[in-house]
């Protein structure tokens, strides 16, 4: 059924048949009124037609629809009630669904709603609808840590000096790729239609990300404009390369429970705006490609075709992907390289790529023993002597740089991460450090259903932080606590989800010197993000769907979580001087041990918390 056919179903309630519709006005009742009572006050509409001002109230009959089960009718009925229109068709033109049409009018509807407030007892119907939509956006968004909709960062400009310095530093393998790309750009600028499709791989630490930055600068300089767009699947990885997440940048659908959902086509204004944004793009980079399932690569291909209005593969732009398939496999999705059977005989996209392998380890530079261990671990072929070295790295005696509160801990699961953070809190408490427990303020914002006596607000709020916009239920903080930001505050200052720093100051409301009551949330905290500076962080409010059909809930909380530990998945791509890593029985994915270990620069900077040798061998996790 087309949207128009769908709209016709409303005729009995709202609209008169089109042929009866007067050119001059849609308010036929008002004209009928005019005939009976004589001259009435007219207002002139923007197209100079006239409309009679109604003196008497009218009753509008509205069937009842439920947003979750019948969104088309629900939003359409709201549009009909609250959006002024001359022809009913206008309401849906250019939109794929009535929800889209409704959201496109958000500003106007809210303005109209506030005007109408004077004439009616406000039923909050519109407000509830917007609240619901925005709350559900939390669920539709990528899981936290998988990035959010932040706009293109104003990337920090690399100085000429830095650029030259990096250029001098690049090794032979990196230089060969740079030269190939420079050459190719020269040909493309001369009109050559060949486009580069490279898969730049190499074990962890071989400088793939370093090369990515260098190529980005090189290409932008060649074109004299921002011609490269850089993406990653996770927000943390995107932060490392100054890029955006694939989902937000390309409006890709979100996979739920490992299922790949169909990708909607962009239409109307969205498409226009995005095409404009992409017009200068000549190169498309994806970092950490090992996290991108094959189906997603296909979606990227079709989205780029649409954005560049070009049916060539990837919309006829150059595409460079960076990653190591021996690192983490895509989370809950099919293999990266394998083309699912149902997609055959479509062209296998990976066949279009040339492979370039970087071989010189730059992260563990100088630590040959560690490099050899990592190389062997990568292919599941550790020698007995190498296992011996790792066994010697096991220690319960964590002091100096490896002290509980200092070195980063890397675990496979969130549970272990939380557990470690709590242990650090206990440790500081044992030294009498003053702590404050900050509890989130939760409330229901939908008036559709009230909480009964048997239900507390806690019973209808999801426990999983990813379903509450990343805001935790509670957090214990103190000056010195290590925290991770869970929202994008300022992309150009790199204050994005995943940024880690230490609290330097806690400020309470009303200039109080301390937390006056248990429910009190600090007015702000200051966090030192190292080279990204010290920044003030204030509490934020986020709406999300409550459980058990209780409508929309809202949580107000500081957007930070404790961060003395992180998961291997979230830390993929990072480099640290010191870390205590877990290589025990809870490793659950092939490649996890390798990714975990290879974050550390040297054997000297490594301690192992638990070691299960069977997890290091062969291809089994
Ligand atoms: N040519 C180079 N000169 C100096 N340092 C380099 C060079 N290439 C890479 N590095 C440094 O080596 C470390 C590892 O590099 P990088 O993070 O780019 O590796 P990677 O291959 O992307 O690793 P991973 O697969 O773990 O993400 C970084 O600290 C980086 O700055």
pLDDT at 332: 42
> Which pLDDT score is estimated for 129?
75
CA–CA dist 174, 210 (Å, integer): 9
Is residue 534 lining ligand 1, measured as CB closer than 6 Å? no
Cβ–ligand 1 distance for 324 under 6 Å, the answer yes
Question: Would the CB of 201 count as within 6 Å of ligand 1?
Answer: no
Question: Which residues are CB-contacts of 167 (< 8 A; sequence separation ≥ 6)?
Answer: 178, 214
User: Does ligand 1 lie within 6 Å of residue 608's CB atom?
Assistant: no
209 lines ligand 1 (CB under 6 A): yes
Whose alpha carbon is nearest atom 15 of ligand 1?
207
Task: Give CA–CA dist 120/98, Å, rounded.
Answer: 25
Q: What is the pLDDT of residue 183?
A: 94
DSSP string covering 534-551: EEEE--EEEEEEPSTT--
Residue 362 beta carbon below 6 angstroms from any ligand 1 atom:
yes
* Half-sphere exposure of residue 237: CA atoms within 13 angstroms, side-chain side: 28
pLDDT class of 278 with cuts at 50, 70, 90: confident
Give the pLDDT band (50/70/90) at residue 22.
Answer: very low
Mean pLDDT, residues 226-249: 68
d(Cα 308, Cα 295) in Å, to the nearest integer? 20
CA distance 325 to 107: 46
Ligand 1 centre distance from Cα of residue 240 (Å): 12
> What is the model's pLDDT at position 158?
63
State mean pLDDT over 407-424.
Answer: 92
pLDDT of 267 above 80: no
What separation in Å is there between the alpha carbon of 281 and the centre of ligand 1? 26
Question: pLDDT digits over 325-362, tens only?
Answer: 766 554 443 456 666 676 666 778 888 999 899 988 88
**pLDDT of 608 higher than 80:** yes
Which residue has its alpha carbon closest to ligand 1 atom 23? Answer: 205
pLDDT for residue 188 is more than 60: yes
What pLDDT is attached to residue 68?
Answer: 62
Cα 340-345-348 angle, rounded to 5 deg: 65
Spatial separation of the C-alpha atoms in residues 448 and 336, rounded to whole Å:
45
| Token reading at 100 | 């889209």
Q: pLDDT confidence of 184, banded at 50, 70, 90?
A: very high
Under 8 Å CB-to-CB from 475, ≥6 apart: which residues?
A: 437, 438, 557, 558, 560, 561, 562
Query: Which atom of ligand 1 sits closest to the CA of residue 322?
Result: 22
CA distances from 554 to 4, 91, 439 (A): 36, 31, 13
pLDDT at 401: 85
Share of the chain above pLDDT 90, in %: 26
Least confident of 11-20, 172-181, 202-211: 11-20
Give 497 Cα–ligand 1 centroid separation in angstroms: 22
Among 206, 362, 602, the mutation site with the greatest number of ligand 1 atoms within 8 A of its Cβ is 362
For ligand 1, what atom is nearest to the CA of residue 171? 1
Q: Give the highest mean pLDDT range of 83-92, 258-267, 330-339.
A: 83-92
The DSSP code sequence of 226-266 is --EEEEESSHHHHHHTT-EEHHHHHTPPPPBTTBPPPPPPP
Q: What is the pLDDT of residue 148?
A: 36
Q: In the numeric block, which tokens belong to residue 578?
A: 């010191």
Q: Which atom of ligand 1 is nearest to the CA of 358?
A: 21
Under the banding of pLDDT at 50, 70 and 90, the label for residue 574 is confident
Half-sphere exposure at residue 470, Cβ-oriented, CA atoms within 13 angstroms: 25
Cα(205) to centroid(ligand 1), Å: 5
pLDDT value at 564 more than 90: yes
Kindly give the distance from the C-alpha atom of residue 210 to the centroid of ligand 1, in angstroms, as a whole number. Answer: 5
Number of Cβ within 10 Å of residue 386's Cβ equals: 19
Pocket lining: 323 vs ligand 1, CB cutoff 6 Å? no
CA angle 487, 330, 377 (to 5 degrees): 110
Q: Is the CB of 602 under 6 A from ligand 1?
A: no
Whole-number pLDDT of residue 170: 87
- Name which residue leads in pLDDT, 411 or 124: 411
Secondary structure of residue 22 in the 3-state scheme: coil
Q: With a 6 A CB cut-off, is 241 part of the ligand 1 pocket?
A: no
> Closest Cα to atom 4, ligand 1: which residue?
169
Does the pLDDT at position 557 exceed 90?
Answer: yes
Q: Which two tokens stand for residue 554?
A: 């809202």
Within a 10 A sphere around the Cβ of 547, how many other Cβ atoms? 12
Confidence of residue 239 (pLDDT cuts 50, 70, 90): low
- How many Cβ atoms from other residues are within 10 Å of residue 371's Cβ? 21
Higher pLDDT, 198 or 271: 198
Averaged pLDDT for residues 121-131: 66
State the first-to-last Cα distance of the chain, in angstroms, to the nearest integer: 49
pLDDT at residue 375, as a whole number = 86
Highest mean pLDDT among 314-328, 341-355, 522-536: 522-536
CA dihedral 198, 324, 360, 583 (to 10 degrees): 170
Model pLDDT, residue 29 = 40
Distance CA 275, CA 541 (A): 33
Helices (H), 40-148: 71-82, 98-104, 106-116, 125-140
- Which residues make beta-bridge pairs with 443? 554
Q: Give the lowest-confidence range in 16-25, 70-79, 166-175, 597-606.
A: 16-25
Average model confidence (pLDDT) across the chain: 78
Please give the residue that has the higher pLDDT: either 497 or 437: 437
Over 80: is that where the pLDDT of 37 sits? no
45-73 per-position pLDDT tens digit: 777 777 777 777 766 667 767 666 677 78
pLDDT value at residue 69: 64
Radius of gyration for the alpha carbons in the chain, expressed in angstroms and rounded: 29
Which residues 6+ apart lie within 8 Å of 56 measured at CB?
33
Nearest CA to ligand 1 atom 29: 363
Say what the pLDDT of residue 362 is.
86
Q: What is the pLDDT of residue 511?
A: 83
Q: Residue 285 forms beta bridges with which residues? A: 230, 320
């Amino acid at each position: 059924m087309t949207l128009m056919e769908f709209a016709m179903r409303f005729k009995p309630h709202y609209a008169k048949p089109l042929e009866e519709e007067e050119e001059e006005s849609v308010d036929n009742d008002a004209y009928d009124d005019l005939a009976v009572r004589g001259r009435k006050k007219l207002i002139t509409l923007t197209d100079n037609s006239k409309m009679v001002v109604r003196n008497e109230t009218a009753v509008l009959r509205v069937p009842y629809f439920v947003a979750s089960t019948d969104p088309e009718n629900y939003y359409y009925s709201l549009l009909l009630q609250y959006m002024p229109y001359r022809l009913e068709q206008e309401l849906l033109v250019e939109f794929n669904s009535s929800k889209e049409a409704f959201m496109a009018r958000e500003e106007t509807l809210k303005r109209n709603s506030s005007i109408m407030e004077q004439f009616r007892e406000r039923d909050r119907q519109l407000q509830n609808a917007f609240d619901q939509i925005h709350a559900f956006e939390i669920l539709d968004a990528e899981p936290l840590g998988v990035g959010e909709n932040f706009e293109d960062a104003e990337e920090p400009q690399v100085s000429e000096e830095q650029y030259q310095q990096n250029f001098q530093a690049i090794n032979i393998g990196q230089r060969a790729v740079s030269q190939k790309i420079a050459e190719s750009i020269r040909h493309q600028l001369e009109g050559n239609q060949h486009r580069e499709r490279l898969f730049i791989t190499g074990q962890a630490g071989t400088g793939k990300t370093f090369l990515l930055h260098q190529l980005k600068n090189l290409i932008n300089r060649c074109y004299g404009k921002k011609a490269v767009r850089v993406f990653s699947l996770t927000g943390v990885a995107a932060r490392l390369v100054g890029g955006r997440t694939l989902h937000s940048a390309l409006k890709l659908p979100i996979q739920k429970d490992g299922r790949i959902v169909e990708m909607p086509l962009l239409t109307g204004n969205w498409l226009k705006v995005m095409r404009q944004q992409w017009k200068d793009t000549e190169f498309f980079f994806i970092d950490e490609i090992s996290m991108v399932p094959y189906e997603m690569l296909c979606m990227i291909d079709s989205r780029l075709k649409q954005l560049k209005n070009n049916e060539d593969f990837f919309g006829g732009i150059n595409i460079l992907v960076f990653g190591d398939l021996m690192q983490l496999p895509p989370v809950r999705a099919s293999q990266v390289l394998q083309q699912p059977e149902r997609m055959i005989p479509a062209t296998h996209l990976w066949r279009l790529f040339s492979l370039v392998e970087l071989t010189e380890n730059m992260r563990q530079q100088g630590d040959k023993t560690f490099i050899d261990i990592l190389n062997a671990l990568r292919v599941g072929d550790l020698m007995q002597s190498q296992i011996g070295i790792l066994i010697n790295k096991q220690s319960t005696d964590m002091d100096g740089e490896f002290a509980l509160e200092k070195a980063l801990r890397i675990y496979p699961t969130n549970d272990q991460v939380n557990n470690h953070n709590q242990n650090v809190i206990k440790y500081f408490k044992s030294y009498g450090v003053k702590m404050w427990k900050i509890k989130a303020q939760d409330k229901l914002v939908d008036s559709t259903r009230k909480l009964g006596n048997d239900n507390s607000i806690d019973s209808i709020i999801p426990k999983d932080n990813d379903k509450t916009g990343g805001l935790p239920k509670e957090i214990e903080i103190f000056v010195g606590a290590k925290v991770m930001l869970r929202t994008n505050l300022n992309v150009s200052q790199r204050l994005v989800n995943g940024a880690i720093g230490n609290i330097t100051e806690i400020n309470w409301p009303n200039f109080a010197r301390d937390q006056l009551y248990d429910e009190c949330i600090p007015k702000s905290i200051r966090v030192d993000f190292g080279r990204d500076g010290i920044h003030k962080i204030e509490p934020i409010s986020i709406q999300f769907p409550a459980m058990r059909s209780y409508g929309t809930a809202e949580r107000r909380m500081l957007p930070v979580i404790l961060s003395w530990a992180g998961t291997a998945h979230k830390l993929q791509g990072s480099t640290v001087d010191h870390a205590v890593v877990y290589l025990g029985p809870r490793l659950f994915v092939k490649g996890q041990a390798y990714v975990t270990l290879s974050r550390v620069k040297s054997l000297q900077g490594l301690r192992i918390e638990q070691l299960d040798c069977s997890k290091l061998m062969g291809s089994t996790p």
